[in-house]
Amino acid sequence: MTYESMRQFADSWGLLFMVILWVSFALWVFRPGAKKYHEDAANMIFDEGENDGRDE
């Protein structure tokens, strides 16, 4: 495979693959079922107790 053929593939199908991948990740993050996980992650620093990372 030459540089030109790899470049042409990356400019067409590679770009399409990256756009589809980005859109699927964005939809995965903003799905309705993820709200609980995002709220837990946002409030994790305020949680004193079991999630402090220390083994006692």
Each residue's pLDDT tens digit, 13-33: 989 999 999 999 999 999 988
- Cα–Cα distance, 31 to 34 (Å, whole number): 6
Structure tokens given for 42: 């946002």
The answer to whether residue 56 scores a pLDDT higher than 70 is: no
How confident is residue 55, by pLDDT bands cut at 50, 70 and 90?
A: low
How far is residue 5's CA from residue 42's CA, in Å, rounded to a whole number?
46
